[in-house]
Structure 1
Amino acid sequence: SLLWAYSLFFVVGTAIATCVPPVGWTPFKSLEQLMALLVFIFMWALHFSEILRRRADFPIRSTKALRIRARVFMITCGVLVLAAALLAPQGYFGPLSSRVRALFVQHTRTGNPLVDSVAEHRPTSADAFWSYFHICLPGSLLGFFATLFLCFARYHHGKSFVLLYYLVAYYFSTKMSRLMLLSGPAAVVLTGNILGGVIDLSVDSLFLPPGVCEDGGKGQMKGRHKQRDPAERAETRIAIAWKKMCRRRPFFAAAVVGALLVLGGHALLTSGYREHCHRFAEAVSGPQIIMQAQLRTGEIIMLDDYYVSYLWLRNNTPADARILAWWDYGYQITGIGNRTSLADGNTWNHEHIATIGKLLTSPVAKAHSLIRHLADYVLIWTGSRAEDLMKSPHMARIGNSVYRDICPEDDPLCSNFRFEDYDLSRPTPMMRMSLLYNLHISGEHPSPAIDNMFRLAYRSRHGLVKIYKVMNVSAESKAWVADPKNRKCDAPGSWLCTGQYPPAKEIQEMLARRIDYGQLEDFNRGKRDDAYYRAYMRRIRNERHG
Structure 2
Amino acid sequence: MYVASQMVKGNKRLSHTFEILILVLIVVLCFIIRLFSVIRNESIIHEYDPYFNYKLSNLLKENGLYSFWNYFDDMSWFPLGRATGQTLFPGLMITTYLIHKICHSMGLFIDIKNICIYIGPVFSVFTCILTYYLTKEVYNKKGRNSGGAALIAALFVSISPAHISRTVAGSYDNESISIFLLILCVYNWIKCLKEGTLFSVVLCSLSTYFMGLSWGAYIFIINSISLFMLAIIILKKYNIKYCIIYNVYYILTTILCLNIPCINKSIFTSIEHLAMHGIYLISNLLLFCNFITNIFNLDEEKIKNIFIKICFIIFFLIFKFLIFADKLSWSHRSRTLLDPTYASKHNPIVASISEHQPTTWGSYYFDIHLVLFFLPIGLYECFKKNANIELFFLGIFTTLCMYFSSLMVRLLLIFSPFVSILSSIGLSSILSTLIEFADKPREVKLADFDENNKKPEDKCSTNNNSVKQNINNAKLETKQEHWNENENENKDVVENNCNNVIKNKIKEKKTPNEISENKSKLIIISILSIIVLLFFLGVLIILHSTWCASIAYSESNITFYSRNNEGGRYINDDIRQMYKWIKENTESDSKIIAWWDYGYQLNAMSNRITYIDNNTWNNDQIANIGLILSSNEKNGYEELKKFDPDYLLISYGGYSKNSSDDLNKFLWIIKIANKKYNFISPLLYYYHENAHPLGSNATSFMANSILYKLSYYNITNEKVKGFDYARKIEVPKIQNLKYFEEVFTSDIWGFRLYKIKQFV
Range class of TM-score, shorter chain: 0.5 to 0.7
Asked whether the equivalents of residues 102 and 121 of structure 1 are also in contact (C-alpha less than 8 Å), the reply is no
Shift in Å at residue 7 of structure 1? 4.7
1:264 aligned partner: 534
2:266 aligned partner: 26
Q: Matches of residues 170-209 of structure 1 in structure 2 within 5 Å?
A: 170-207=402-439
Shift in Å at residue 284 of structure 1? 0.7
Distance 2:296 2:644 in 1: 71
- 1:394 lines up with 2:663 in the alignment: no
Shift in Å at residue 388 of structure 1? 0.8
Distance 2:445 2:282 in 1: 51
Which moves more between the two structures, 325-334 or 119-128? 119-128
Residues 1:406 and 1:305: Cα distance change in structure 2 (over 3 Å): same
1:378 aligned partner: 648
2:613 aligned partner: 344
Shift in Å at residue 79 of structure 1? 9.4
One of 700, 710, 731 as aligned partner of 1:439: 710
State how many pairs are aligned: 428
- 1:38 lines up with 2:271 in the alignment: no
Q: What do the CA deviations read for 1:353-411 (whole angstroms, capped 9, x no partner)? A: 2122112212212222332434222112101347211212221221121123434xxxx
Q: Secondary structure at the match of 2:558?
A: coil
Give the unaligned 5+ runs of structure 1. 216-244, 408-413, 475-546
Residues 1:40 and 1:380: Cα distance change in structure 2 (over 3 Å): farther
Which moves more between the two structures, 307-316 or 396-405? 307-316
Distance 1:433 1:207 in 2: 78
Q: What do the CA deviations read for 1:309-338 (whole angstroms, capped 9, x no partner)? A: 233333333322222111122122223232
Shift in Å at residue 345 of structure 1? 0.5
Q: What do the CA deviations read for 1:442-493 (whole angstroms, capped 9, x no partner)? A: 255797852x52222221221111122222289xxxxxxxxxxxxxxxxxxx
Asked whether the equivalents of residues 398 and 419 of structure 2 are also in contact (C-alpha less than 8 Å), the reply is yes
Residues 1:81 and 1:456: Cα distance change in structure 2 (over 3 Å): closer
1:204 maps to a residue whose letter is E
Q: Secondary structure at the match of 2:758?
A: coil
Q: Looking at both structures, which has the greater relative contact order when contacts are Cα pairs under 8 Å and sequence separation is at least 6? A: 2
Q: Secondary structure at the match of 1:110?
A: helix
1:275 aligned partner: 543
Asked whether the equivalents of residues 382 and 392 of structure 2 are also in contact (C-alpha less than 8 Å), the reply is no
Residues 1:183 and 1:473: Cα distance change in structure 2 (over 3 Å): farther
Q: What do the CA deviations read for 1:17-49 (whole angstroms, capped 9, x no partner)? A: 555666553333333332233233333333333
1:415 aligned partner: 683
Distance 2:327 2:380 in 1: 43
1:139 aligned partner: 374
2:364 aligned partner: 129
1:63 aligned partner: 302
Q: Secondary structure at the match of 1:136?
A: helix
1:363 aligned partner: 632
Distance 1:458 1:14 in 2: 52
Residues 1:459 and 1:341: Cα distance change in structure 2 (over 3 Å): same
1:442 maps to a residue whose letter is Y
Distance 1:5 1:334 in 2: 46
Residues 1:17 and 1:159: Cα distance change in structure 2 (over 3 Å): closer
Q: What do the CA deviations read for 1:36-74 (whole angstroms, capped 9, x no partner)? A: 332333333333333444444556x44245456666x38
Asked whether the equivalents of residues 278 and 315 of structure 2 are also in contact (C-alpha less than 8 Å), the reply is no
Residues 1:428 and 1:107: Cα distance change in structure 2 (over 3 Å): farther
1:465 maps to a residue whose letter is F
Shift in Å at residue 200 of structure 1? 1.7
- Bigger Rg over Cα: 2
Bigger share in helix? 2
Q: What do the CA deviations read for 1:113-153 (whole angstroms, capped 9, x no partner)? A: 22332222322222221111222132324x25xx4278445
2:399 maps to a residue whose letter is L
Residues 1:258 and 1:178: Cα distance change in structure 2 (over 3 Å): same
One of 467, 470, 488 as aligned partner of 2:753: 467
Shift in Å at residue 252 of structure 1? 4.9
Shift in Å at residue 440 of structure 1? 0.8
Which moves more between the two structures, 162-171 or 246-255? 246-255
* Two-structure CA RMSD over aligned residues (Å): 3.9
Distance 1:246 1:19 in 2: 70
Percent identity over paired residues: 22
Q: Secondary structure at the match of 2:665?
A: helix
What is the TM-score when the length of structure 2 is the normalising length? 0.50
1:115 maps to a residue whose letter is V
- 1:286 lines up with 2:585 in the alignment: no
Q: Secondary structure at the match of 2:676?
A: coil
2:694 aligned partner: 424
Distance 1:391 1:9 in 2: 45
1:314 aligned partner: 583
Distance 2:542 2:317 in 1: 59
Residues 1:353 and 1:463: Cα distance change in structure 2 (over 3 Å): same
Asked whether the equivalents of residues 324 and 341 of structure 1 are also in contact (C-alpha less than 8 Å), the reply is yes
Distance 1:324 1:17 in 2: 36
Residues 1:417 and 1:315: Cα distance change in structure 2 (over 3 Å): same
1:418 maps to a residue whose letter is Y
2:213 aligned partner: none
Shift in Å at residue 5 of structure 1? 5.2
Q: Secondary structure at the match of 2:589?
A: coil
Distance 1:246 1:336 in 2: 75
Residues 1:74 and 1:174: Cα distance change in structure 2 (over 3 Å): closer
Distance 1:398 1:151 in 2: 45
